[in-house]
Structure 1
Amino acid sequence: MQTMRRKILGAMAALPMLGLLPGVASAQDKIILGEINSYTRLPAFTEPYKKGWELAVEQINAAGGVNGKMLEVISRDDTGDPATAIRIAEEMISKDGAVLLFGTFLSNIGLAVSDFAKQKEVLFIASEPLTDALVWSKGNKYTYRLRPSTHMQAAMLAEQAAKLGKKKWATVAPNYAYGKDAVKAFKSELTKLQPDVEFVAEQWPPVFKIDAGSTVRALESAKPDAIYNVTFGGDLAKFVREGSLRYLFEDRAVVSLLSGEPEYLDPLGKEAPEGWIVTGYPAAQIDTPEHKAFAEAYQAKWGEMPKTGSIVGYNSVLSIKAALEKAGSTDTDALLAAMEGLEVPTSPTGPFMFRAADHQSTMGAYVGKTTVADGTPAMTDWAYADGAKYLPSEEEAAKLRPAE
C-alpha cells in the first residue's frame, strides 16, 4: 500500500510539469480562432484564401505569437449552407473555445453568421461577403467586414464608366443579395457622375445557373452602348464564351465587377476578353516592399503566385492580430473596443483601418483593364483604389445602420 501511494503521489506531482515539456502546450498558451468558409462549394477562391491565412498564422507564431500566445485556427467547411455555418459557429464557441469567428464567402452565409454573432455576443470578422447589408441595413455591434464592399467596388467602376461617356447601359448580375446590391450601387454612383445615363435592360440569372444563351440574346436585343457585368466563376466563363460567339462585346464597352481577379480571370485562358474595365488583383505586377515580401513568402510556401483570396485570408489574420494586441485581452468587450477605428498599418495592400461608424474596413481594390498577353489573361493599366475614397462619410453611414 505504501508503494502504491508513493506511485500515485509521484504521478500527481508530475502532472503540472506536462505543460513545460517540449511540444506540449496548454490551453492557456493558445488563442483559438474559429474560421468558417465554403471550401467545397467555392474552392477557386477559398483554397487560396486558406493558404493566405495559414501563412499569416505561421509567420505570427514564428515571431512569438500575439501577446505571448500562439494562434490556433479551427477551420470548418460550411458547404455553402447557412444552417451548417450556424451549427459550426455554435460548436466553435461552445465546445472548441474560439474567442472570435472569421471567414465566410457567400453573402447569405455571412449575414447568417453575423446574426449568430449578435445573438451570442461574439466578435465576427467577415472576411469576404460583399453585400452592403452586412455593415449597413443589417449591421450589428459584433460584426466587422474586411473586403471592400459591393458599394465600394461598384463606385470604383462607376468612376471609370463615367469617363466612357456611354449613355445606354444594360446590366447582368446573379439574382441574390450581392448581385442586387452591385447593380443598385453602380446605378446610383454612375447617375451621380453622369445624370443623363439610361439603363435599358437588366438580366438576373440565378447564381451558378446562368442560361448564357438567353441572357446574351436579351442583352443584345436591348442594343446598349455598354454593359455592367456582375457574374463570376462558372457563370462568368459561360457569359464570356456565349457573348463572344454572338459578338455581344464587339464595339461595346464592358465594366465588370471582380473579373480581374485571378480566380475568375485565369480560367478564361485565351478566351479572356480584351479591354474590359474590372476590379481585380495584378499580383505579379505589384512592386511595393510589403507586397513583394508577402508574394515571395507565399510562393516559397505554396509554389504559386497569390490570388485575391490569398490577400483576403492574409489580411484577415493581420486584422485579428492587430485587434488582439490593441485589446490586450481575448475578452469580447475588449476586442469590440479595439475594433473601433482599428488600424492595420502594414499589409500587402497597404495600411487600412476599420471604421467605427459602420464597421467597414478601408482596404481598397485594384482597378484596370483585362488583356491577353502570350495567351495568358492579365490586368493592364491598373491602379490601386483606396477604399476610404469610395465610402459615404461615417456620419452618413451611421444613418444606414439599425439602432443598437
Structure 2
Amino acid sequence: MTNNRTRRRAGAALALALGAAGIATGAAAQDCTTKVGAVLPTSVDWGRPIAETAQWVVDQVNEAGGVNDCQVEMILRDTQVDPKVGVDAAKALVDLDGVQLLIGAVSSGVSLPILTSVTVPAGVMQMSCCTSSTALTELAKEGKTNGLWFRTFATSGVQAAVGAKVAQDQGWKKVAVFYKNDDWGQDIGKLVAQNLESMGIEVTAQVAINDGQPSYRAEAASALSGQPDAVYMALYPNEGTATAREWLALGGTQNMILANSLKSEEFRENVGMQYLENAWGTDTASPRADSATAFVDAYEARFDSPPNGPGLANSYDATMIALMAMEAAGEDATGAEIAAAVPRVTDPEGTPVTADAEGFAKAAEIFAEGGNVMYQGATGNVRFDEYGDVSAPAVIWKFTEDGIEEVEYLSLEEVNDFMASLQD
C-alpha cells in the first residue's frame, strides 16, 4: 500500500475522532465505487430491519473512508424468502453487477441454492447473517464450498437443543413438531425431534408445512391426533400464523415452543397475545460483553428502538467482517481473496478493533501496515471454524404486550455442555 493511502486513512480516522465533518479527507475526494451484493427478504416485516442494519454498516464504512479508498455501494435485492427468487437475484448481482462479495441470504432454503448454483461456481464470497442449517456445514466438510462460505449465526443445533430444554424444564412429556418444508425447517425439525427423544420426551408427530396453502387444518389435525402436551414450531410468520390459528381452533394446546423465526410482532399480533402466554421462544444470543452492549446502544441511537428482531446483531457483524476482509484483501480482490482475508479480521492475536466507523478506520491502517485485527462486534469476538461456522450463547424468551422479554440466558459454555449431554 502507498504512503499516500495510509495518510488518507489517518485523515479519515482523525476526522471521526474529532467529529469534524468539515475536515477535508480522502473520503471527500473519492471518485470510485466498490459494489457489494445483498440478497435479503425485505418484503417481510422481520427481514427489513436485517437489511437496514447491513446498510447502516455500509454507511459507517463509507464514513471511515470506504473500502480501499472507494465508497461502498450495497446493491440490495429482495429474496421474498423464495429459493428461485433468491437465486435469480444472486445471479443478477454476480453476472450483471459483477460483485465479488454477497451478503445473505437469511433462510437456509435460499442460501443453499445460491451457494451451490451461484457463488461457488462464480468464485464469489458469501457471508450470511442468519442461515442455520447444518446441511451447509456438511457441504463445507465435503469440500464443496471452496472456503467461500461464512455465517455469523450459529447452526440449527443450538436452537434445537434449547427448544428441547424448554420442554424438559416445563415438564412436557409429549410434543408435536411443525416444521417449514425447506432446508432449514427439515434440518431443525429433525434435530429437535432427536433431542426430545434422547431426553425421553415422546415426539407424537412431525408435520411438514408448505408455503401458500389455503388451509393448514389437515396438518393441524394430524399433529393433534397424538394428543401432545406441547407443540414445537419452526415456521415463518405467514405460515406460522395460519398454522397456529388452525391448531388453536381445533383445541390444540397453548403450550408452544417457537424458533426464532417467529420472534415477530406480526406473528404476535395476528395470533393474539391471549393465546401466546405460554409460548416460549428460543434464539441465539450475543455474549454478555462490552462490545455487544455498545452495539445495542448504537442501534437504539440509530433506529430509535432496541434490536429485538431476529438476526440484527448477526447482520451487523456479517457485513462489517465481510467489508473488513475486503479491505484487508486489497484493491480489486476476487471473492476467494476476500474469503482468504477473513482470518486477518478475526485473529485472536490481532489488535482489538471496535464495531463502528472508527474501528473500521483503525483496521484499515493496521491492514495497510501488514497487521491483523481482532474484531470485537455485536456478537462478541467472532470466531469462524474451518467450515465457516460460529458458536453462540442462547436465550429463552417470551412475548409480552409490549414486545419481547428475555427469560433465561445460557452462556456459550452452558450451551455447549447441554448439547454434549444430549449425545451421552
Q: Give the TM-score normalised by the residue count of structure 2.
A: 0.73
> Contact 1:263–1:308 at 8 Å: present in 2 too?
no
Aligned equivalent of 1:125: 127
Q: Does 1:31 align with 2:34?
A: yes
Aligned residue number for residue 167 of structure 1: 173
Q: Is the 8 A contact 2:216 2:242 kept in 1?
A: yes
Q: Which has the larger radius of gyration?
A: 1
- Cα deviation for residue 109 of structure 1 reads 2.3
Corresponding residue for 1:367? Answer: 395
Partner of 1:17: none
Match of 1:5 in 2: none
3-state SS of the aligned residue for 1:44?
Answer: coil
Q: Give the whole-Å Cα distance in 1 for the aligned partners of 2:63 and 2:301.
A: 16
Matched, 1:52 2:53: yes
Residue 339 (structure 1) shift? 3.2
The separation in 1 between residues aligned to 2:334 and 2:57, in whole angstroms, is 22
Deviation, structure 1 residue 48:
0.5
Closer, same or farther: CA 263–331 of 1 in aligned 2, 3 Å: farther
CA contact 2:30–2:70 (8 Å) conserved in 1: no
1:61-87 Cα deviation digits (max 9, x unpaired): 223334544332122224455444444
State whether residues 260 and 379 of structure 1, in contact with CA within 8 Å, keep that contact through their aligned partners in structure 2: no
Residues in 2 aligned to 1:88 and 1:277: alpha-carbon distance in whole angstroms:
35
- In structure 2, the residue matched to 1:396 is none
Contact kept, 8 Å, 2:119 with 2:125, in 1: the verdict is yes
Distance 1:353 1:25, change over 3 A: same
Q: Which runs of 5+ in 1 are unaligned?
A: 1-19, 394-404
**Partner of 1:204 in structure 2?**
208
What CA distance in whole angstroms lies between the structure 2 residues aligned with 1:96 and 1:164?
51
The DSSP-based 3-state class of the residue aligned with 2:211 is: coil
1:300-315 pair list within 5 angstroms: 300-306=301-307, 307-315=309-317
Pairing of 1:208-287 with structure 2 (within 5 A): 208-209=212-213, 211-250=215-254, 253-258=255-260, 261-263=263-265, 266-268=268-270, 270-271=273-274, 273-280=276-283
Shift of 1:290: 3.3
Q: Which residue of 1 aligns with 2:184?
A: 178
Q: 1:121: how far off?
A: 1.3
The answer to whether 1:294 aligns with 2:295 is yes
Which of these residues, 369, 381, 399, is aligned with residue 407 of structure 2? 381
Question: C-alpha offsets along residues 312-361 of structure 1, whole Å, 9 cap, x if unaligned?
Answer: 321221221342355456333332323359626322232221111x2112
Residues 277 and 367, structure 1, Cα contact 8 Å, conserved in 2: no
In terms of mean alpha carbon deviation, does 230-239 or 88-97 score higher? 88-97
Which of 320, 328, 339 does residue 336 from structure 1 map onto? Answer: 339
Structure 2 counterpart of 1:114, one-letter code: L
Contact 1:38 1:46 in 2 (8 A): yes
Q: Distance in 1 between matches of 2:40 and 2:262?
A: 22
Counterpart AA for 2:317? N
Task: Give the superposition deviation at 1:21.
Answer: 11
Summarize the Cα distance change of 1:21–1:120 in structure 2 as closer, same or farther, 3 Å threshold: closer
* Matches of 1:85 and 1:220, distance apart in 2: 34
CA offsets, 1:155-208, max 9 Å, x none? Answer: 23223433444433221112222221111111223334x1x3322222222135
Q: Give how far 1:271 is off.
A: 3.8
Q: Residue 363 of structure 2 aligns with which residue?
A: none
Looking at structure 2, the residues matched to 335 and 392 of structure 1 have their Cα atoms a distance apart, in angstroms, of 33
- CA deviation digits over 1:236-279, x for unaligned, max 9? 223333444444225xx432211662455543453451233321
Give the direction of change, closer, same or farther, for the CA distance of 1:21–1:64 in structure 2 (3 Å limit): closer
CA contact (8 A) 2:179 2:234 kept: yes
Structure 1 residue aligned with 2:367: none
Structure 1 counterpart of 2:90? 89
The 10-residue stretch of structure 1 (142-151 or 294-303) with the greater mean CA deviation from structure 2: 294-303
Q: Deviations over 1:115-163 (max 9, x none)?
A: 1111111211123333222232475122222222222321232234334
Opposite residue 147 of structure 1, the aligned amino acid is F
Does the 8 Å CA contact 2:285/2:393 hold for their aligned counterparts? no
Q: CA separation of 1:287/1:266 partners in 2, compared to 1, >3 Å: closer, same or farther?
A: farther
Contact 1:155–1:390, Cα closer than 8 Å, also in 2:
no
SS in 1 for 2:45: helix
Alignment-derived partner of residue 98 in structure 1: 99
Distance 1:170 1:210 in 2: 22
Compute the TM-score of the two structures, normalised by the length of structure 1.
Answer: 0.76
1:77 corresponds to: 78
Residue in 1 that maps onto 2:164 = 158
Check 1:234–1:260 CA distance in 2 against 1; reply closer, same or farther (3 A cut). Answer: closer
Match of 2:196 in 1: 190
Structure 2's unaligned 5+ residue stretches are: 1-24, 347-373
Please, what is the CA RMSD of the aligned residues?
A: 3.4
* C-alpha contact 1:207 1:235 (8 A) present in aligned 2: yes
